[in-house]
Amino acid sequence: MFEYFYNEILRKTIISFGTLFNSIEIQHQDSSDNTTSIVRVPLAYGPTQKFLARLEQSPDLSKGTAMTLPRMSFEFIGLTYDQSRKVTTTQQFTVKDPDSDADVKKAYMPVPYNMQFELSIMSKLNDDALQIVEQILPYFQPQYNLTVNLVGTINEKKDIPVILENITMQDDYEGDFSTRRVLLYTLKFTAKTYLFGPISAATKDIVKSSSVSYYSGDSNSTVRDLTYRVRPRAIKDYSGDVVTNLAEDIDGHATAFNVDTGSSITLKKYIEIGGEEMFVTKISDNKITVERGKDGTIVTSHLRGAEVKGIDYTAREDSDSVQAGDDFGFDGDIT
């Protein structure tokens, strides 16, 4: 039932969340409001209790093992399914392989999940903690969109809303004078991410041909068993086959025009110029005659030097790469 895959989505989201807070600084000033020091607040991944335990075990500031304050830590604490963002589970989409324009990959629609995070701010001085908190809160109203490249193999980038849920503050004065005071602010966040399944080559499930059998006739004596066979035909160039270039400017009314090399054009086949599909009906040296705007493509003007791309010029390479959602045409016969 299952196959191995690992898109590292949870890991990427955790890392991206941490990068939001890794450049926070605090400043200390003297009585004349002159800045005496600028401290970048350390950020680490781990539970708050671990850092507090280390503080309690090393209370002597003269020891090198003691932790300095302020500091921050964050932790991934939960994962829940988000019913409100559910989409059709059987729906698929296809994209071009970012490493190869000729290859197409497909994936099922992602599954929405909410990731819960806790950000802990530990400080000895209340002003230090307030400086940190005030640098964070204005960006969450109550959410901040974080762009994450969730699936690198298809370069799928999504804006992940990071929502600030609540803030709590703890200031415990209990203990003797040898115990270090720690002000603890806890900020809870929810990141609305998406989990993708395995990514596969889209050409695996491309329909190469299809047939439909049916009866035709108006009485029992004339009923015939008919079969209609169809094969998908691409209406655009997927493989990047540039066969020649325009030798002149053409407007939206021209049906005959010159190209640099007419011998590279195939009669009774389709070409694509600037997104417009054309059907070649005649070739005379370097002059070709075409039918414009085939399969609903927009008839427009094209400039001299524009690329003329061949559709299915190499053993139906384009038709074998027809993507889901392509409004392709059909060829067929009745037998």
Please, what is the end-to-end C-alpha distance for the chain in angstroms? 41
Residue 1 lies in a domain: no
Q: What is the pLDDT of residue 90?
A: 66
- Determine the structural domain holding residue 127 and report its residue range: 9-201
What is the C-alpha separation between 57 and 59, in angstroms, rounded?
6
Residues 226 and 196 both lie in one domain: no
pLDDT band at 221 (very low <50, low <70, confident <90, very high): low
Q: What is the pLDDT of residue 208?
A: 52
What is the C-alpha separation between 191 and 144, in angstroms, rounded?
9
Buried b (16+ CB within 10 A) or exposed e, 292-305: bebeebeeeebeee
Residues 251 and 197 both lie in one domain: no
Residues 19 and 127 both lie in one domain: yes
Q: What is the pLDDT of residue 19?
A: 93
Residues 221 and 251 both lie in one domain: yes
Cβ neighbourhood burial of 151 (10 Å; 0-12, 13-18, 19+): buried
Residues 90 and 107 both lie in one domain: yes
Single residue among 143, 168, 201 that ends a domain in this structure: 201
Q: Is the pLDDT of residue 95 over 80?
A: no
How many domains is the chain partitioned into structurally?
2
Residues 182 and 231 both lie in one domain: no
Report the chain's mean pLDDT, rounded to a whole number.
80
Single residue among 201, 223, 242 that ends a domain in this structure: 201
Buried b (16+ CB within 10 A) or exposed e, 31-59: eeeeeeeeeebebeeeebeebbeebeeee
